[in-house]
Each structure stands twice: as C-alpha cells, then as structure tokens.
Chain A
Amino acid sequence: MVAAPVTSAAAAAPAAADASAWLAELAGALLPSRRQEDWRFTDLSPLLAIPTGIAAPSAEPSVAVPADPWTGLSLPAGVERLTGADAERLLGTALTATGAADHWPVRLNAGAAPAPLVLRVRRDGGSLELPLAAPAGDGLAAWRLLVLLEPGARLELLQVPSAAPGQRQLLSLVTEVVLAEDARLSLGCLALGRDDCCLLNHLVVRQAPGSELLAATVSAGWSLARHEPRVLQERGAASTRLRGLQRVEGHQLADTHSCVRFEGPEGELDQLHKAVAGGAGRSVFNGAVQVPRAAQRTNAAQMSRNLLLSDRARIDTKPELEIVADDVKCAHGATVSQLQSEELFYLRSRGIDAAAAARLLQRAFCEDVLRFLPAAARRHDPISALLGDA
C-alpha cells in the first residue's frame, strides 16, 4: 500500500487528542469546554489543528524556554524596562487583582514561560509600537507584557501580534497594565491573522482614580481569536474607553469577552464593540459590567453593533450587567443588521457600483473603531485587511 499524504479521520483523532493533552499539560488544566458558561459559544477545536510544541526556528520544536526576544528593543525616553527582581515583583499584580490568573489562556501563556517585558513609564512616554512577530516554526508563540504608568505618566502603545509566514501557529498574548493616579494610556492592538492560526489575547488593567484608559482591539482573519479585556477600577473615579472590532469570514470564529468592574464611586465606562460577519463566520461578544454597592454614581455605556454579510454567518452578542449600586447610569444596547438597502441604492444612484458601495459602507462601519488605534496603526493598512483585499 502506497502511503499517501492524506490524513484520515482515524489518524486525525489521535493528533487532536495529542494536541489537547499537550495544551492541557502546558496550562496545567484541561481545555475549557462548551459546557462552561464563558466558553459556551466558542469551539476550541481550531487550537487542536495547530501542531504541538513551542514555535522556534529549530527543526525540533521543544518546550525549552526561548531566549529573551526583547534585547534589541529601543524604548522612547521616559520608558524604561525593568528586569530581574524588580520585574518579578510586579508581574502578576493585575492578573491576581482581577482573578484572571486562573483563566485557561493565561495559564497556557504562563506554561509557555515567555521572557516577560516589563515597562515602567514615569512621565510622557510618547508613542511606542511593539511588533509582536512570532518566530518561524509551527506551534505556540507567547508574549507576556506588563506596562506600569506612574502618577501622571502617559503612553501610546500599539501591539501588532502577527504569525510567521507559512507557519501554523497559536499566538498567546497576556498584557498587564497598571495605571496610577492621573496616568493616561492609549493602547491599541492590531491583530491581523491567517486562517490557519489562532490568537488568545488577554488584557488585564488596574486603574487608579483619575486615570484614563483607551483600549482599542482590531482583529480579523484568525481561525479562532479570543479577546478578553478585563478592567478593574480599583477605587472608581477613572475613565475607561473600550473599542473592539472583529471580522470573520469562512469558518472563522472571533470571540470577545470583556469585563469592567468598578470598586469605587464615580467611575466611567464608554464601550463600543463592533463585528462584521461574512461567510459562515461566527462572532461572539459578551460584555460584563460589574457595579457593586460601593460604585455609586457610576456612568457606564456599552454598545454592540454587528453587521451580518451572509445568511450563514452568525452573531452572538450579550451584555452582562451586574448592578447593585442604586445611583448609577448604565446604558447598553445591541444591534445586528445587514447593509442597508436604501443606503446602497442611494450610493448606486450616484454612479457608484454595487460592490464599491458595499465596500464604502463596510469601511465606514470599521472606521468607527479604527480611528481609535494609535496613529502608527495606519502604516499597516488595516482597512484593506479588514475588507478582505490585502
């Protein structure tokens, strides 16, 4: 019998079981299942199609700890890298405070033991782009970041995680942020992926009173992408703006589970999450907002807007408001629509062909979030990737 390069169902099952066992061992916990509420809509089987092992340029992937990838990084004035005991002391502070340390994607990241990048910003740190380019080689590529802004400090930070060309990879990104009083951070994550790669992205933020956070995440093209922004306003009185945009095509799945918790009064949240779903793609949004009794006079607004481009695509969107305090404003809403036929006809009646009109409308839908990314993101031409003509 001639060996053919065909994977039979019988052969695939053990490979998936191997992958599952390897991931569970690395994370020290079994993969989440859809019986768990937080993963109800999210099928993790695309993770099992990624070859096991840590992505490394060598021929034999192993679980060896990779060398420090940050040595060549040049930082703007006002931003310094902490290493050694200083760094170790700070790492995990936001994960612990938000209860995210036990989340499976975070455990997986810890299991991969990436060399951490710990940054401290003392004043105006200007603008910094972190190109998170995975090394060559199939398998898992992980990054661990912590960004600490001291009182009154500022920073604009753009993360651009990307898979290595031609490699099947699972990207794991865990970012911790600590904002002291009156610190201001604009954080963008531009995650343009490929159909044979997955992304698990955790963002965990502690905010002190008077601090301002703008976090914008744009994601498209991944077989599976899971984004979990979690913000804790430790004593309230801070400003949180969250922007999300995810696009799915084919059989892709993108899932955003956000959580914002106010532990004190007079906190503000302004959240907009958008999704564009084409093909047989699936988009999931779950937005938790927690307002305990201590968080009087909280002002929170959450909106989920979704564009459905195909009758096979699927959108699941759910606000999850837990409000105990009685003197608060918490608004939320969700819309799912198709391209509006009257808008299309108006554009066509001006000589713009149907395809160009549809693109113009989709572009407008996306720009609403793209404009919140740091300016440096423009260089990556996100709109072309999002509209599927990169």
Chain B
Amino acid sequence: MIRPDAPVLLEIRDLQAAVDDQPILKGVNLTIRAGEIHAVMGRNGSGKSTLSKVLAGHPAYAVTGGSVLYRGENLLELDPEQRARIGLFLGFQYPVEIPGVSNLEFLRVATNARRAERGEEELDTFAFEDLVRERLAVVQMDPAFLERSVNEGFSGGEKKRNEILQMALLEPVVAILDETDSGLDIDALRIVAGGVNQLASPDNATLLITHYQRLLDLITPDHVHVMAAGRILRSGGKELALELERSGYDWVDQELARLGADAERQPAEVA
C-alpha cells in the first residue's frame, strides 16, 4: 500500500559496508514508508543479504559510509538487541540452531525484551503460553515445536515458520525477510507468505529479500529493487519483478559495464 504522505520508517542513504575489509555495499539508497512492502532482488553476491545483516547490526560487517535513519533515529549507532527492541526484525536466511535452549523460553525472553521497550508489562510463563498458542495459528505451527530446542532438528520449512512466529510475537515496525522463500516447498511457501500477509499493516513495513519471483506471486510488493555489485541498480513497481522473471539478470552485466566508468553515478529510476 503506497501512501505518499505515510511516515518514513527507514531511510537508507549512500550506505557502504565491508566485511574483512572487502567492500560489499557501495552506496545503497532506499526509503521505506509505513504500509509498504518492498522487494530487493538480485543474484547471489549482489549484496542483498549483506544489506539485511548490516541493518540488523551483525558485528562482522563494518559500515564504512552513509547513514540509516529508523523513524528519524540513527540506527547504526545501536546494538543489534536495541534495534530489535525498537521494532526492527530480521528473518534469517539460515535460522541458527541453538541446542539446549528451549524454543518457548527463547520466544518468551525475546517477546518480553520487546514489550519492556514498548512500556508493556512482561508476560509470565502462563500469560506467554496463551499468547504464543494464539500466534502459532499465523503459521499453522504445531505446539510441539515450542518444547524443542531453538531450531534444532527443524526442517527448512519449520525453521522459516519459526522465524515468522517470532515476527508475529515481536510485532516489528520494519521486518526484513532474508530469502525467506529459500528451501521451501510450495505448501510451506504458502503458509509463510500467508503469515507475512497477515502481519502486514498500514503502520508497518516489510522488506523482502529474494532471488525469485515465486514469493512475489504470493506477497505483492509495492516496490521492487534490483541490486547488483553493492548498489540498487534499478527500482520499479511489481512489474519489474515480472520483467526479471522473463528476461533474467543478463541485462545487469551490461548496465554495470555502462556504469563502471562512473562509479559515483546514481542508478536511474525506472517508472
């Protein structure tokens, strides 16, 4: 849902980042307003996963330039946990298995950290169980998964559902979903996409990072961006994703070659 007057939730300006002194992001610009769903597409190595990690505050990535404002606040100076508490959520491409930490306990501690930040009272074990059972419905998840260790022995689809369950509990303002569609069969993809659609509202925003069109058949983006070589090369509406589906990414190389001579040049907007 595009409303030009909706408040800006995330404003990324000329963001540059490196890992192990290797520049990955080379000037990303992106503005996300409340109510919008954005999709960032691109080939492997284009920098789209790095963008998600940098926004969430992964310590292995060093920001070397530019700025990110989250609801007007400098996001980059906050610890990862503080970013999460104020409403930024990263759905992991590869959710981490944590043996010995119960999923239920993990979800409760995380939910309470977010609630405390919002000035809401913390939930005790019983109140939390009621909440989590209600939210399980969003991703049609079996309550048995609550009793297991975090993601341990979960299938690919179960891990991604667990990510969306966390999103349902944390009620983020900006959710970044990194390759949430990877490794999912069509049924799991429908369930996960259904969860994302249920959670989208006029007050929040979603940034989908994906390789393929198939997720976008189920979640309709308002804006589609194509990333290459650490920048957003082209932006457009949902039809851009369909065009990519038809023509592939080969044009990207030509465009990069054309831009190569002038690295400072901003990418052209496509209507």
Which A residues have a C-beta under 8 Å from some C-beta of B?
Answer: 340-343, 345-354, 356-357, 360-361, 363-365, 367-368
Asked if residues A351 and B81 are in contact (CB atoms below 8 Å), the reply is: yes
User: B170 an interface residue at 8 Å Cβ cutoff?
Assistant: yes
Whether A350 touches B98, Cβ cut-off 8 Å, given contacts A341-B59, A345-B58, A345-B59, is no
CB distance from A365 to the nearest CB of B (A): 6
Nearest CB to that of B149 among chain A residues? A364
Residue of A nearest to B114 (CB): A351
Q: Could you tell me the distance between the alpha carbons of A350 and B84 in the complex, rounded to whole angstroms?
A: 6
Kindly provide the distance from the CB of B246 to the nearest chain A CB, expressed in whole angstroms: 36
The answer on a CB contact under 8 Å between A356 and B109 is yes
Q: Does B35 contact A (CB under 8 A)?
A: no
CA–CA, A53 and B263, complex, Å: 80
Contact of A348 among B60, B79, B117, B170 (CB under 8 A): B79
CA distance A368 to B152 in the complex (A): 14
Q: Which of B100, B113, B117 has the most A CB atoms < 10 Å from its CB?
A: B100
By beta carbon, the residue of chain B nearest A360 is: B101
CA distance A95 to B92 in the complex (A): 55
A368 touching B100, Cβ below 8 Å: yes
Task: Kindly supply a per-residue 1/0 record for chain B positions 79-110, scoring 1 wherever the CB is within 8 Å of any chain A CB and 0 otherwise.
Answer: 11101110000101001101111000010011
Q: Do residues A353 and B98 form an inter-chain contact, with CB atoms below 8 A?
A: no
Report yes or no: B98 in contact with A346, Cβ–Cβ below 8 A: yes
Please name 14 further chain A to chain B contacts, defined as beta carbons within 8 Å, in addition to the given A342-B96, A360-B106, sorted by A numbering: A340-B96, A341-B60, A343-B98, A349-B81, A349-B84, A349-B90, A350-B170, A351-B81, A351-B85, A353-B81, A354-B79, A354-B81, A364-B100, A368-B99
Q: Does B136 interact with chain A (Cβ within 8 Å)?
A: no
Q: Which residues of B contact A346 (CB under 8 A)?
A: 92, 95-96, 98
Q: Which residues of A contact B114 (CB under 8 A)?
A: 351
For B, the interface residue count at a CB cutoff of 8 angstroms equals 28
Alpha-carbon distance between A352 and B96 when the two chains are bound, in angstroms: 15
Please give me the 3 A-B residue pairs with the lowest Cβ-Cβ distance, nearest first: A364-B100, A351-B113, A350-B110
User: When the two chains form their complex, are residues B79 and A347 in contact, meaning their CB atoms are under 8 A apart?
Assistant: no
Number of A-B residue pairs with CB-CB distance less than 8 Å in the complex they form: 72
Quick one: which of A349, A356, A364 contacts B99, CB cutoff 8 A? Answer: A364
Known: A348-B79, A349-B80, A350-B106. A364 touches B113 (CB 8 A): no
Closest-by-CB residue of A relative to B169 is: A350
Q: How far does the alpha carbon of A351 sit from the alpha carbon of B99 in the complex, in Å?
A: 19
* Closest-CB distance, B199 to chain A (whole angstroms): 16
Which among A342, A348, A354, A361 is the interface contact of B84 at CB below 8 angstroms?
A: A348
Interface status of B34 (Cβ within 8 A of chain A): no
Residues of the A chain whose Cβ atoms lie less than 8 Å from the Cβ of B85: 351
What chain B residues lie within 8 Å of A350 (beta carbons)?
A: 81, 84, 106, 110, 113, 166, 170
The answer to the question of B56 belonging to the interface, with a C-beta cut-off of 8 Å to chain A, is: yes
Residues in B whose Cβ lies below 8 Å from that of A365: 100
Instruction: Given A356-B109, A360-B109, verify A348-B100 contact (CB < 8 Å).
Output: no
Chain A neighbourhood of B110, CB < 8 A: 347, 350-352
**Residues of the A chain whose Cβ atoms lie less than 8 Å from the Cβ of B100:** 363-365, 367-368
Q: Least Cβ distance of B61 to chain A in Å?
A: 11
Which A residues lie within 8 Å of B79 (CB)?
Answer: 348, 353-354
B221 within 8 A of A: no
Most buried by B among A354, A361, A364: A364
- Contact among A343, A347, A351 with B117 in the assembled complex (CB-CB below 8 Å): A351
Hey, which chain B residues are within 8 Å of A345, CB to CB?
Answer: 58-59, 80, 96
Instruction: Give the Cβ gap from B55 to chain A, nearest Cβ, in Å.
Output: 10
Residue of A nearest to B88 (CB): A349
A363 to B109, CA, bound (A): 14
Is B101 a contact of A361 with CB atoms below 8 Å? Answer: yes
A356 to B: closest C-beta gap in Å: 7
CB distance from A186 to the nearest CB of B (A): 21
When chains A and B are docked, how far (Å) is the Cα of A364 from the Cα of B170?
Answer: 23
B57: interface (CB < 8 Å) = yes
Which chain A residues lie closer than 8 Å to B149 at the CB level? 364
CB–CB B98/A361 < 8 A:
yes
Given A342-B96, A346-B96, A347-B106, A352:B81 Cβ within 8 A: yes
Task: Name the residue in A347, A357, A365 with the highest tally of chain B Cβ atoms < 10 Å from its Cβ.
Answer: A347
Complex Cα gap A340–B60 (Å): 13
Give B113's nearest chain A residue, CB to CB. Answer: A351
